[in-house]
Amino acid sequence: MTKDLIIVESPAKVKTIGKFLGKDYVVEASVGHVRDLPKGDMGLDEQNGYLPRYEIIKGKEDIVGRLRKAAKAAGHVYLAPDPDREGEAIGWHVAELIKGQNTNVSRIQFNEITARAVKEALENPRPINDDLVGAQQARRVLDRLVGYKISPILWKHVKRGISAGRVQSVALRLIVDRERERRAFEPVEHWALKARLEGENPPPFRTDLWKIGTKTVAPGLKEIGSQDAAEALEKSVRAGQFTVEAVDEKERAKSPPPPFTTSSLQQVANRALGFPAKKTMGTAQKLYEGVELGEKGTVALITYMRTDSVRIADEASSAAREFILGHYGEKYAPTKVKAHKSKGGAQDAHEACRPVDVALTPDAVKAFLPADQFKLYQLIWRRFVASQMSDARFHDTTVTVKNGKTLWRAKGERLLFPGFLKVQGLEAPDPDAVAEDGSEQLPKLTNAEALKLLELTSEQKFTQPPPRYTEATLVKALEEQGIGRPSTYAAIISTLQDREYVAMEEKRFAPSELGTTVSDKLVAHFATLMDIGFTAGMERKLDEIAAGSRAWATVIEEFMADFIPALKLAGAEMERATIDSGVSCDLCGKPMHVKFGKMGEFLGCSGYPDCKNIKEFTRDEQGKILPSDKARDEITDIACELCGKPFAVKTPRKGRAREQFLGCTGYPKCKNIKNFKRTEEGVIEILAAPQVIAAGTCPECGQPMVVKTARKGSRFIACTGYPKCKHTEPLPTGVPCPKEGCDGELVEKSSRGGKVFFSCSRYPQCTQAFWDHPVPGPCPACGSVLLVEKNTKAKGLHIACPVKDCGWIKPEGEGGE
């Protein structure tokens, strides 16, 4: 019997879906995209409307062969990649590749990986949506045009090997512009006044200065702009009388937030869990595709996570209501279903990101999930359940106090009914208890009541510059400005970091000198491309292509009409990036310039090649360059034979120039090092490590043994017949293990972090180990059977006893071992 074939994106889905459908279907995975534009060239026909030329992605040939073979044997092929534009494009590419084997092809999609959703999708197949494919293709072509056309100009005028991106460059501009705002910011001094007052009824309470006359207190107000002004105001207040001006009490309702969209999930996961956007999306993908839940087998826990919509299906709403009624009670389930409104322009093809089965609580699956998956699932589950619960209710009290020409305010909030907050574990507190945030409970007060001043304080403050973007605030800004799509935010952020245009400093984005330079060059020469409004407008055009109201080729043609002239001007007018640091060379006195090398940015003398002085540097809060005394590593043209990255001349932290060595710039991933010498012409030559022949021969093949150094630093003995013979042994020290009753010997090892230590050859039976090199004893003071060789700042290289309570040190100049 001929079986039907279902092709999904991820291998993880194969097992989950196969479990639902049984033996009547074959399930295969494309493992993401199978075709793309070529890597070696632009891959677009510029003479024919920029038609793309696709090819099978390198390494995917076997997958394509397997899909073609399965398609040939299948009765019907159902394409089931993810339910978005990218998934539609993957389905189209697969269909193009298998059309020689099977043309009986349909597209199916499901928002959740459940038996019901998959079977419903199979009952409602459709053709591939050419408009969705066109929208994805337009985005891909636009990105390829910008990258391939602009990058060579940047190579010539900034640094070779860098690149520009249509959306990433605009995101970079946001970060660079924010940094400039910070550097240009001038702090304003102001003073905050607080008064602790007592009325007829306890307890005492605190108030903040709110108004002076008709002016609301804010930075820049001259009455609190200096210490003298604050002291004068404080003196006036102390001479006056505090009285209650007004007491306003009202009940306030707080509605629950909607279930997660892609953007809100990334923002909240970053704030609450510290997850980068890339980690959030990767973890969510695993929850969507399915995880092993013991006897339940592989179960998908959440619906599709790439969505702009806050809409949920009726059955999901009903299931949530039943759960809320059963676990929290009737008052927590609103009589009317909570309907949340999506933002304008949101694509409503998919539901919000929610748990597939609300009955699978976080506690029920915690034992089966890695910590990160559990944390994210708990976040999604709680947000969804909360979105379907009753409002929280608060009793708000605002007290206004008058003293002469000043008005003071105190606010109190009391939770009456937790509503949706209960799913977070918050309950209605005792009315007489102190609030959770530590604020004091407001007493019962009446209008015109006289109050006693217990304490009056003033604190100097300064206005702060706008903060750098965190991942959460950058995602929020991108969404608000219409830059990119939520599904692309993680890739945008990763690209900016991978290109070293930005770096994370205290969990916030700081532009590098390279990033700032690239942004400035693009703004100067590609104003339209770097315009936020233009980028947002292009996203709307891509939406129109997806909706079928625009042709993708027309959008490309309109874009190129402005882009081609800008390219020509940039190629002719862009100048070589020269950034004066404001620092003079300490060797020749000429200006130092910011330069960009293989290992990042540095200060280089403008007198090069006559003066080769280079320095590391940092910037202060105002952007002023501060040279570092640390010498910059010299990057060589010698490639590491292990990873291909260049070697750099390194100086040991406690060493001298004569102790320099070559270290791989791929450190810490690659720890390859070499000894070297310089010729009379200054050329670096690698010195071959001398082979130290070890005593004895290989017990496996009889060839001589040699001492070698492992990548992590420790030495070992290996057969010279390598690679035919792979016999190795730890390098012995000749010192017996000091543990009583152990017949082992101390041998050289290295830790995971690359630090050499010495442990017993009988490990794990014996765990005796030392960080310092062992030497034969005994200790003349305590009789320890071994001593150790130490190297400290105070005493240099010396021999000492390892016993803590002994402290014996071999006298300097004393001979013998």
**CA-CA distance, 602 to 607, in Å (whole number)?**
15
Q: How far is CA 233 from the centre of its chain?
A: 48
According to the model, what pLDDT value does residue 632 have?
A: 60
Per-residue pLDDT band at 814 (split at 50, 70, 90): very low
Per-residue pLDDT band at 809 (split at 50, 70, 90): confident
What is the rounded average pLDDT of the residues 566-584? 88
Residue 536: its H or E element = helix 532-547
What is the rounded average pLDDT of the residues 80-104? 94
According to the model, what pLDDT value does residue 344 have?
A: 57
3-state helix, strand, coil in the chain (%, to 5): 30, 25, 40
DSSP strands (E only) in 199-324: 205-212, 215-216, 242-254, 291-292, 298-299
* Comparison of pLDDT for 672 and 72, the residue scoring more: 72
Q: What is the pLDDT of residues 716-727, one digit of tens each?
A: 888 888 878 888
What is the rounded average pLDDT of the residues 667-684? 78
Per-residue pLDDT band at 714 (split at 50, 70, 90): confident
According to the model, what pLDDT value does residue 580 have?
A: 83
Residue type, 507: K
Q: Is the pLDDT of residue 239 over 50?
A: yes
What is the rounded average pLDDT of the residues 163-179? 94
Q: Does residue 511 have a cis bond before it (omega within 30 degrees)?
A: no
* Contacts of residue 175, Cβ cutoff 8 Å, sequence gap at least 6: 468, 469, 474, 496, 502, 509, 510, 511, 515
Q: What is the mean pLDDT of the chain?
A: 88
According to the model, what pLDDT value does residue 695 have?
A: 63
Asked about 328 being catalytic, the answer comes back as no
* Comparison of pLDDT for 164 and 811, the residue scoring more: 164
Three-state secondary structure call for residue 553: helix
DSSP letter assigned to residue 163? -
Least confident of 252-261, 279-288, 790-799: 790-799
Q: Provide the token pair at 682.
A: 């200054």
Q: Is the pLDDT of residue 170 over 50?
A: yes
Q: Which long-range contacts (CB under 8 A, 24 or more apart) does 328-337 make?
A: 328/389, 328/422, 328/423, 331/390, 331/417, 332/389, 332/390, 332/419, 332/420, 332/422, 333/388, 333/389, 333/390, 334/388, 334/389, 334/390, 334/391, 337/388
Q: Provide the token pair at 327.
A: 């676990």
According to the model, what pLDDT value does residue 126 have?
A: 96
What is the rounded average pLDDT of the residues 320-346? 85
Place of tokens 């826990």: 301
According to the model, what pLDDT value does residue 670 have?
A: 80
Q: Provide the token pair at 729.
A: 């042994």
Per-residue pLDDT band at 731 (split at 50, 70, 90): confident
Residues in the chain: 817
Q: How far is CA 477 from the centre of its chain?
A: 16
Q: Is the pLDDT of residue 136 over 50?
A: yes
Q: What is the pLDDT of residues 190-238, one digit of tens each?
A: 999 999 999 999 999 999 999 999 999 999 999 999 999 999 999 999 9
* Contacts of residue 428, Cβ cutoff 8 Å, sequence gap at least 6: 415, 416, 417, 418
DSSP letter assigned to residue 126? B
Q: Is the pLDDT of residue 428 over 50?
A: no
Q: Contact at 8 Å (CB) between 808 and 800?
A: yes
According to the model, what pLDDT value does residue 688 have?
A: 66
Per-residue pLDDT band at 729 (split at 50, 70, 90): confident
Per-residue pLDDT band at 21 (split at 50, 70, 90): confident
Q: Is the pLDDT of residue 630 over 80?
A: no
Per-residue pLDDT band at 392 (split at 50, 70, 90): very high
**CA-CA distance, 788 to 649, in Å (whole number)?**
31
What is the rounded average pLDDT of the residues 109-121? 90
Per-residue pLDDT band at 743 (split at 50, 70, 90): confident
Beta bridge partners of 78: 6, 106
**CA-CA distance, 203 to 218, in Å (whole number)?**
29
Q: Contact at 8 Å (CB) between 170 and 546?
A: no
pTM beyond 0.75, yes or no: no
Q: Contact at 8 Å (CB) between 509 and 175?
A: yes
Q: Provide the token pair at 400.
A: 């206004």
Name the catalytic one among 304, 328, 469, 489.
304
* Comparison of pLDDT for 601 and 537, the residue scoring more: 537
Least confident of 370-374, 656-660, 685-689: 656-660
Per-residue pLDDT band at 338 (split at 50, 70, 90): confident
Torsion of CA 292, 298, 302, 307, to 10 degrees: 120
